[in-house]
Structure 1
């Protein structure tokens, strides 16, 4: 099962949308480039197992 969620770029602050793979577990981290400024963001994804609500924090890579 996949769903989308939004995060704000750690560099430029612009909103981005990413796909979240629920089968990868309740806590995930991966690098995704900003769709606006193309800089890499480390995304920390948390999925509430009961409500399936998605929270994403982003930070600079490097």
Structure 2
């Protein structure tokens, strides 16, 4: 089994580059964590929401 079965295409809130954010579609209903951009290395706040319809991902600046 793969640790991350899916990825969500997002835009880095710092550098504006499109990035793939790995997401495990199975897990708690809502979680927030910090992850660095693979392009500019600045920290994002990643918010993942999961429900019956699937999952959604939002990126925020860590300095907001």
Give the TM-score band, short-chain normalised.
Answer: 0.7 to 0.9
TM-score by length of 2: 0.73
Residues 21-62 of structure 1 deviation map (CA, whole Å, 9 limit, x = unaligned): 233312111111111111110011112x2221x222111113
- Mapped partners of 1:14, 1:57: distance in 2: 15
User: Structure 2 matches for 1:1-62, cutoff 5 A?
Assistant: 2-47=5-50, 49-52=51-54, 54-62=55-63
Structure 2 unaligned regions, length at least 5 = none
Moved over 3 A (4+): none
Give the count of matched residue pairs. 60
Gaps of 5+ in 1: none
Higher helix share: 1
**CA distance in 1 between partners of 2:25 and 2:8 (Å):** 12
